[in-house]
Structure 1
Amino acid sequence: MKRFLDATVGRWLRHFFFVLVRTYYALFYNVSCANKHLLQNAPGTLILATHVSRHDGPLITSILYTTTRIRPTVHWDEYHNWAQWFPLYVAGAIPMSSPKSWPPEQRQERKAQTLAKIHNLLENDCAVLLFPAGKVRRQPEEIIAPYLSGVHEILRANPDTPVMLLRTDGLGTYQRKIYDGFWSFIGVKNGRRHVAMDLRPIHDLDPQSDLETFNKKLEALLNTEIA
């Protein structure tokens, strides 16, 4: 029954939210996304994205919506926030992490359940969006904390998973601000902010390396500037 509702009512609701979100970004942002067509020939892709703004999740999901369905990952407290739980549920978002107040064994069990769900989605040809840094950056560069092991564990369990790197420029606090003249007819100096997104396959992440080496390599890839 749940699968039927997701394919019927859920599909219509997702499209409704898509229209709302895309309209908003079309009005206030001038967004381009290079190579998004590559997702059409790469089912079950793990998308690793920079996290430059709180807009990242809805923006990426809406921009890639017509290419393939994206299952975004979100922090557990954002997922269970009453103000945004429903749209996240309809979008099929995956809550990550768990309250630090939980006992270690309960947190480990929750982590295992989350990783199992991600593996199941990837095996069923769904694209999963994950932010390796875990939170919006508070500095110019992306920093992956040494203890964050989600990406490493996902790829170590299934090294053949297609992986793509998604970098966003022009949206974050520490990124360049360029505007067009979209709103100039009503006297607004700054029009839509230009945002560039770049999606590229990556093949040089070695999940057999130790976690520290793996995270350093991924961190370097995330901080490579968009050409």
Structure 2
Amino acid sequence: MMRLFDRTLGKWIRHFLFILVRTYYALFYNISSSGKHLLQNQSGALILATHVSRHDGPMIAAVLYPTMRIRPTVHYDEYYNWAQFLAMFVISAIPMSSPKSWPDEKRKARKAKVMGIIHKVMSKENAVLLFPAGKVRRQKEELVPAYLSGVHEILSAEPNTPVLLLRLDGLGQFQAATYDRFWSFIGIKKGRRHVTIDLRSLTDLDPSVGVEAFNARLEELLNTPVSNDI
């Protein structure tokens, strides 16, 4: 039943939400994106993104929607929040983690189930959007501690998975805010905030190394300015 809903009514609702969200960001943000073409010939991919604000997920999904269906990962608490559960369900978000109050065995079973869903999604030629830092940035740089082992485990299980690095600039509180004059005709000097989305392929993430070294390399990639790639 859920699969039928996803392919019929869910598809129409997602497109309607895309129009609403894309219109909102077109009105209040001046978004430039590069590298979207890298998704066109992919048969499933893992997108690793910086997490600079709460707009990241909706903005990325809206910008990439016409190119490939994006299945975002969200924290368990956010997915089951009553105020946003319907939207999460319609866009087929994947809830990550589990309540710490659960027994260890139950949490391990939950993690194994989520990993299975992620691999299944990518095998069906969809993209999974994952924020390696796990939460919105509270400092100038992305931090990926060793206990956040999801990316390492995904690539260890399937090392040939296509991986793309997505970096947002101009959106977070620690990033420069530049505005155009879109709303100047009604006397507002600050118009839309400029945001850059940069997407590029990653071929140098080695899951055979330990989690700590792997995450250190991931931090380095996430924190490299778009104009100064490693």
* TM-score above 0.5, yes or no: yes
- Unaligned 5+ residue runs, structure 2? none
User: Distance between the aligned counterparts of 2:217 and 2:63, measured in 1?
Assistant: 27
User: Distance between the aligned counterparts of 2:145 and 2:104, measured in 1?
Assistant: 19
User: Distance between the aligned counterparts of 2:126 and 2:22, measured in 1?
Assistant: 21
5 Å-filtered alignment, 1:146-165, equals 146-165=146-165
Amino acid at match of 2:79: Y
Amino acid at match of 2:202: I
Q: Deviations over 1:86-115 (max 9, x none)?
A: 111010100000111111111111111100
TM-score, structure 2 as length reference: 0.97
Residue 124 of structure 1 deviates from its aligned partner by 1.3
User: Distance between the aligned counterparts of 1:139 and 1:38, measured in 2?
Assistant: 30
Which residue of structure 1 aligns with residue 48 of structure 2?
A: 48
RMSD between aligned residues: 0.7
Q: Report if aligned partners of 2:69, 2:126 keep a CA contact under 8 Å in 1.
A: yes
Partner of 1:27, secondary structure, is helix
User: Distance between the aligned counterparts of 1:144 and 1:179, measured in 2?
Assistant: 31
Amino acid at match of 2:74: V
User: Distance between the aligned counterparts of 1:225 and 1:144, measured in 2?
Assistant: 17
Partner of 1:154, secondary structure, is helix
User: Distance between the aligned counterparts of 1:201 and 1:179, measured in 2?
Assistant: 29
- Unaligned 5+ residue runs, structure 1? none
Partner of 1:129, secondary structure, is strand
TM-score, structure 1 as length reference: 0.99
Answer yes or no: is 1:10 the counterpart of 2:10: yes
Which residue of structure 1 aligns with residue 66 of structure 2?
A: 66
Which residue of structure 2 aligns with residue 39 of structure 1?
A: 39
5 Å-filtered alignment, 1:165-180, equals 165-180=165-180
User: Percent same amino acid among aligned pairs?
Assistant: 64
Which residue of structure 2 aligns with residue 216 of structure 1?
A: 216
User: Distance between the aligned counterparts of 2:184 and 2:82, measured in 1?
Assistant: 37
Which residue of structure 2 aligns with residue 110 of structure 1?
A: 110
Q: Deviations over 1:54-107 (max 9, x none)?
A: 000000000000001000000011000111111110101000001111111111
